[in-house]
Amino acid sequence: GEENCRESIGYFEEALKVFTIDRYPFYYAEACTHMALAYKKLSEYDNIKGNTLKAIERYKHALDFYTIESYPVYYASIKQNLGSSYIQLSYVDNSRKNIYSAIGAYEDAFKVYTEESFPYYYSDTLILMGDAYRHLSTIENTIENCLESLKYYEKALDCSTKEEIKLRSAHR
């Protein structure tokens, strides 16, 4: 619950006194990522805007180390979480700007999460992108953004169906 989130954030703050980007870059990035997750969870209990902004900040710090070139899967995962954090923030602050930030983060995740390489995560990101456009449709260009949302949902459904067929064939 809330207390566990606060306690874990305290431990990560202590860890970051030792794990600096210069001395221990991998552990620094790991601590930042987990701290971001704790802030995002804490935002469900308290100060949604402030804690979500802290989560976004920590994800961005983790991306200083987890680049697409050196750690593509970590990079894509963090981009996906960053996008979800922007969507969460959009419900309480500057909806349009934060939705577009989420869309940009999901587009970055697609650079790694391809249908061929990571079909599950690709499909998951398609759904998140569909959600972003659905949310955007409540703010601007209702029909256009609803259609864009449907495009992503249909692609996700198509990918899921293909993956299901592959799994069934493998078990025969």
Residue pLDDT, tens place only, 120-166: 999 999 999 999 999 999 999 999 999 999 999 999 998 877 666 56
- Segments of the chain scoring below 50 in pLDDT: none
Q: Measured between alpha carbons, how far is 68 from 72 in angstroms, rounded to an integer?
A: 4
Quick check: helix, strand or coil at residue 64? coil
Q: What's residue 160's pLDDT?
A: 73
Quick check: helix, strand or coil at residue 128? helix
Q: What's residue 48's pLDDT?
A: 96
Q: Which residues of 142-152 are buried (b: 16+ CB within 10 A; e: fewer)?
A: eeebeebbeeb
Alpha helices per DSSP H over 19-141: 25-42, 48-62, 72-90, 95-110, 119-136
Q: What's residue 170's pLDDT?
A: 61
Q: What's residue 163's pLDDT?
A: 65
